[in-house]
Chain A
Amino acid sequence: MPHIPGIETWIAALLTLACMSFLYKDNPFFRFAESLFAGISLGYFIGITLNQTLVPNLILPLHRDFGQNWDLLVPGLLGVLLYMRYVPKIGWISRFALSIYVAYYIGLDFTRRIHGEVLPQLARAIVPLSKFDSHTILYSLIFSVGVFSVLIYFFFSKEQDAVTRRVARLGIWFLMISFGAAFGFTVMGRVALLIGRLNFLILDWIYPMIGLR
């Protein structure tokens, strides 16, 4: 028996179609959906930041126990400094907050990358090549040659000579093959997302209206 879906399904379905209409060309429906999406998401983000970051991490701790949490004033002040750019005479102050933010994360990332990426990858790249079995030839040897040729491609402070140019070209081949594999893998994921959206349109919106669900 036909059943008219709820208003929320209609809104979701019509907005989906409005977004998909961009595949044909730019049009007023897409412009409306795009503006609505951008506006709502920005408003939502402000609410999320206020309720999940500022209030629980700064305002409430300061309000409840100022003596214990006074040090939170420092990041709070750095955040406020960012807005000084809107006061032209003292706009330069905002750079302090920005530079502290950037420097903090560079320092943090430095050790994190060495510990979490450089050393483990180096350990994984060390594979024995003493045996001449299929695993050594098809995995270990190709793996080692791939790692070191790609590394040589990424040398910038020395001009490439005839030998390093050839090795670097081999590295590019390794990179392109891995990119091709990654491309195929991700496209499959995107097709799955499209199927999910089509499923919504067909199963939740169209089928109930024609009595198939």
Chain B
Amino acid sequence: MRTGVLSRASARVPSFAAPLTASLLVLLFRSALAVAPEVSPAAPGDLPAPTSFTAGDRPGDSGNAKPGAERYVDTTAKDGTVYRYEIRTVSAADTSSAVPAAGGTSAASGTVAAALPAGPPLVSDPVASHDNWFRTEKTNSFIASVLFLVILLASIGAAKSGKKIFIRRIAGLNAVDEAIGRATEIGKKVLYVPGSQSMDEIQTIASIAILGHVARATARYGTDLDVPNKDPLTFASAREAVRGAYLAEGRPDLYREEMVNYVTYDQFAFTAAVSARMIRERPAAIFLVGYFFAESLILAETGQSTGAIQIAGQADPTQLPFFIATCDYTLIGEELYAASAYLSREPALLGSMRAQDIAKAIVILLGITGIIAASLGATWFAGLFKTQ
């Protein structure tokens, strides 16, 4: 058999401006490669010339389309530089060692295959890549994002305008006041660990909102609070939240800077230090709310051994089992976000909870519709939600 070889010639036409890099897609038509099977390699002069192929910028991509049997994507093409591509027919024996095969029916290479015995070339028109403002492969994400944003803004707007938004009580939240009350009664402190991640993690942001509520309660009751931190930015945010809570409760005299303290950035050094603090100072209530990794079990197990009331909150399913096994109450997944909305009663958070519920209802509706459609043979419906 013979196979096509694509080679990039040179930039012969002056380049034109384009801002960002994108890929060039060259379509190799199968007709150019359709030749009769042959046992022995043919001499270059016997090889027929390809009849046609087109080269052009692939619309709506981000420069990472995969080459297929009839396509060659030149990911090395520089944006704005004009290229010509040429395709030749060579025998399979000649290409096996020199050119990577793509799909078995054609071969493609971005390098000039001048050394190969090849038939006469067919040269494309000048072509240049350019970036695309709209990436068509992400249309479904775009529609979903816009839809959710509209729902989100409408819900927040409704909450701000005074519409009452109901959030059901979560079992773990009843325990928050109970745990702080217990700490007050026995005169021991409340330990609050806001996870081990930075403020780019949504769970940490939710945790800081809950910390604000806990700090208001400790300020109200005059209970000592200890907030050790691993991440510097979380540390800064936690300090702001606790200071603000003490001010809001009218007890700035009870606030001390060292309530919110920084330990270290290393995961297990932090874990060792906090675990040791639990054993030494025996807090009456421990909150482990935020994003935790492998330290989750060590911290929760140590806290459990001290006899403290433990309340955890985490949205990562890999660490949740440990909290469920060792803590008195656990805010599972989205309960963490709902808790921050419930406790703070801020319109923005209440509205966003409402928006998330509407989005979940839409997802359930689409899912059930999709299952019915797929059961009836309309598999294209599920394809609407596939992403690249």
Contacts and interface: CB of A to CB of B under 8 A. Distances in A.
Q: Do A and B come from one complex?
A: yes
Max chain A C-beta neighbours (<10 A), residue from B264, B268, B269, B377? B269
A196 to B, nearest CB: 14
A98 B332 contact: no
B168 A158 contact: yes
Contacts of B93: none
Contacts of A154: 333-335, 360
Contacts of A148: 364, 367-368
A213 to B, nearest CB: 28
- The 3 A-B residue pairs whose C-beta atoms are closest, nearest first, are A41-B266, A126-B370, A105-B200
Given A45-B265, A123-B385, 6 more contacts: A38-B273, A102-B205, A106-B205, A123-B387, A130-B376, A144-B367
Nearest to A82: B236
B29 interface: no
A42 B338 CA distance: 34
Contacts of A102: 199-200, 205, 237
Interface string A85-127: 1000000001100100110111011110011101110110111
Contact of B263 (A38, A105, A114, A179): A38
Contacts of A120: 385-387
Contacts of B98: none
B43 interface: no
Interface residues of B, number: 74
Classify the interface of chain B: helix, strand, loop or mixed: helix
Nearest to B334: A154
Interface stretch (A4-12, A29-37, A58-66, A202-210): A29-37
Contacts of B170: 156
7 contacts: A26-B276, A34-B273, A38-B273, A111-B145, A125-B370, A158-B168, A183-B321
A128 B379 CA distance: 8
A173 interface: no
A152 to B, nearest CB: 7
A80 interface: no
B66 interface: no
A156 B145 CA distance: 22
Contacts of A147: 367
Nearest to B370: A126
A195 interface: no
A186 B240 CA distance: 36
A157 B357 contact: yes
B202 A106 contact: yes
Given A126-B381, A154-B334, A186 B366 contact: no
Interface stretch (B9-17, B19-27, B102-110, B136-144): B136-144
Interface string B347-388: 000000110010011011011101101111101011111110
Nearest to A26: B279
Contacts of A22: 272, 275-276, 279
Given A101-B233, A157-B166, A183-B322, A119 B141 contact: yes
A142 interface: no
Interface in A128-150: 128-130, 144, 147-148
A101 B145 CA distance: 21
Interface in B256-287: 263-266, 268-270, 272-273, 275-276, 279-280
A67 interface: no
A155 B377 CA distance: 31
A166 interface: no
Nearest to A190: B297
A61 B234 CA distance: 28
Contact of A85 (B236, B354, B385): B236
A159 B266 contact: no
B321 to A, nearest CB: 4
A156 B357 contact: yes
B317 interface: yes
Max chain B C-beta neighbours (<10 A), residue from A41, A98, A101, A148? A41
A93 B379 CA distance: 54
A178 interface: yes
Contact of B276 (A34, A85, A106, A180): A34
A201 interface: no
A114 B145 contact: yes
Nearest to B374: A128
B325 interface: yes
B165 interface: yes
A44 B322 CA distance: 30
Contacts of A180: 321
A147 B322 CA distance: 22
Nearest to B272: A34
Contacts of A159: 166, 168
Max chain A C-beta neighbours (<10 A), residue from B341, B354, B360, B377? B360
B318 A98 contact: no
B338 A156 contact: yes
Given A38-B269, A148-B364, A157-B354, A119 B168 contact: no
B374 A127 contact: yes
B324 interface: yes
A110 B374 CA distance: 29
Interface in B289-330: 294, 297, 317-318, 320-322, 324-325
Contacts of B138: 115
